């Protein structure tokens, strides 16, 4: 298919992120009103998961069904990829059967390799560098709650990981200020940070990385955290849990933020580590609404990338 469009990075939506969030809002309203909306009738999405997933798997599968289409869950243990078939051949063959491929991978290079050889759109369902579907959805959630994006301050506290990298790019694109508070050696990817700073210039928003969690959280409208040990880093668990201890989002840290600050976490959460029970279950936490919006935002992504809506 000529001119197919992939969603591998937040960079891929820099031109139409605002429109995509509007589309998510209208799709959510139609769903809540019980109005059928089926632009993907008869279309199929292949979903390759190299790693575990609750939200991404279920929201993409349900989303495809609600849009009139169908999704297939594929694990590398069952695919011939697990027995040595190349990613390139898999991409070429799947492209003859399905209308799009969602891929959750260990390595960003593998997502790029799949996209290079697929003739249908490829959507990154999380890799070691980015998690764009999560961040598009999170920006939709913030806009829904606060009525705006530009001018807000998001504090990300913890590991400078895939979620943090995509948040930096996303905040820069929509003109939100973001400060990441990360321990030395666990800062976000330097190239993506530089890209975020470049993208932030036209809107005049600031993108900062600091090592002090309390100063990151100061006067924030949103306090966001994620796990200290991402999938694929299990061997570093012990040292990470020790090193990140002072980066916990707890009541004391939340006190640094604005009094109406919202607490966000992409989930799954490790309670008692990166976030305490009282905070994640407290009145400022919006994590379950945040998770719900994966469904609505990804339906917008699917409608746009697979059907050009």
For residues 75 and 183, give the distance between their C-alpha atoms in angstroms, rounded to a whole number: 34
Cα 143 to Cα 75, 123, 146: the distances in Å are 34, 23, 5
**Is 266 one of the catalytic residues?**
yes
Q: Candidates 71, 266, 273, 303: give the one binding ligand CP (CB under 6 A).
A: 266
- 306 contacts: CB under 8 Å, gap ≥ 6: 40, 43, 45, 69, 99, 100, 121
> Which residue number, 205 or 230, has a Cβ lying nearer to ligand NVA?
230
**Is 138 one of the catalytic residues?**
no
Q: Which residue is nearest to ligand CP (CB)?
A: 56
Token pair for 167: 């948040």
Token pair for 9: 């990075």
Query: How many other CB atoms sit within 10 Å of the CB of residue 39?
Result: 17
> Which residue number, 104 or 304, has a Cβ lying nearer to ligand CP?
104
For residues 279 and 155, give the distance between their C-alpha atoms in angstroms, rounded to a whole number: 15
Q: Candidates 66, 90, 124, 134: give the one binding ligand CP (CB under 6 A).
A: 134
Asked if residue 269 lies in contact with residue 146, where contact means CB atoms within 8 angstroms, the answer is: no
Identified catalytic residue from 265, 294, 296, 304: 294
For residues 6 and 116, give the distance between their C-alpha atoms in angstroms, rounded to a whole number: 10
Which positions from 99 to 118 touch ligand CP by CB under 6 A, shown as an x/- string?
--------------------
**Is 298 one of the catalytic residues?**
no
Residue 143 near which of ligand NVA, ligand CP, none (CB within 5-8 Å, type-dependent): none
**Is 271 one of the catalytic residues?**
no
Residue 54 near which of ligand NVA, ligand CP, none (CB within 5-8 Å, type-dependent): ligand CP
For residues 220 and 152, give the distance between their C-alpha atoms in angstroms, rounded to a whole number: 8
> Which residue number, 154 or 200, has a Cβ lying nearer to ligand CP?
154
**Residues engaged in binding ligand NVA (CB under 6 A):** 126, 161-163, 226-227, 230-231, 266
**Is 80 one of the catalytic residues?**
no
Residue 267 interacting with ligand CP (CB under 6 A): yes
Question: What does residue 93 show for φ and ψ, rounded to 5 degrees?
Answer: -75, -50
24-53 binders of ligand CP (CB under 6 A): 53
**Which sequence positions are flagged as catalytic?**
104, 131, 134, 226, 266, 294
Residues that bind ligand CP (CB under 6 A): 53-56, 126, 134, 266-268
């Amino acid at each position: 298919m000529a001119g197919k469009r992939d969603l591998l990075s937040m960079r891929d939506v820099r031109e139409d992120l605002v429109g995509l969030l509007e589309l998510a809002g209208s799709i959510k309203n139609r769903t809540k009103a019980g109005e059928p909306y089926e632009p993907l009738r008869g279309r199929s999405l292949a979903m390759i998961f190299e790693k575990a997933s609750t939200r991404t798997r279920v929201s993409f599968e349900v989303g495809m069904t609600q849009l009139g289409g169908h999704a297939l869950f594929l694990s590398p243990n069952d695919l011939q990829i697990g027995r040595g078939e190349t990613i390139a051949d898999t991409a070429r063959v799947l492209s003859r059967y399905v209308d799009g491929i969602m891929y959750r991978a260990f390595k960003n290079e593998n997502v790029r390799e799949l996209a290079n050889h697929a003739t249908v759109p490829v959507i990154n369902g999380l890799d070691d560098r980015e998690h764009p579907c999560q961040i598009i959805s999170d920006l939709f959630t913030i806009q829904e709650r606060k009525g705006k994006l530009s001018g807000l301050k998001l504090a990300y506290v913890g590991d400078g990981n895939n979620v943090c990298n995509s948040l930096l790019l996303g905040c820069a694109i929509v003109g939100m200020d973001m400060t990441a508070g990360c321990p030395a050696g666990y800062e976000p990817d330097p190239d993506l940070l530089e890209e975020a700073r470049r993208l932030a210039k036209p809107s005049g928003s600031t993108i900062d990385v600091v090592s002090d969690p309390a100063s990151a959280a100061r006067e924030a409208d949103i306090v966001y955290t994620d796990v200290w040990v991402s999938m694929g880093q299990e061997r570093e668990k012990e040292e990470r849990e020790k090193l990140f201890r002072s980066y916990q989002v707890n009541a004391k840290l939340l006190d640094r933020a604005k009094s109406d600050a919202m607490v966000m976490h992409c989930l799954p959460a490790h309670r008692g580590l990166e976030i305490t029970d009282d905070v994640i279950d407290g009145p400022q936490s919006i994590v379950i609404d945040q998770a719900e919006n994966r469904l609505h935002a990804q339906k917008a992504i699917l409608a746009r990338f697979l059907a050009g809506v």
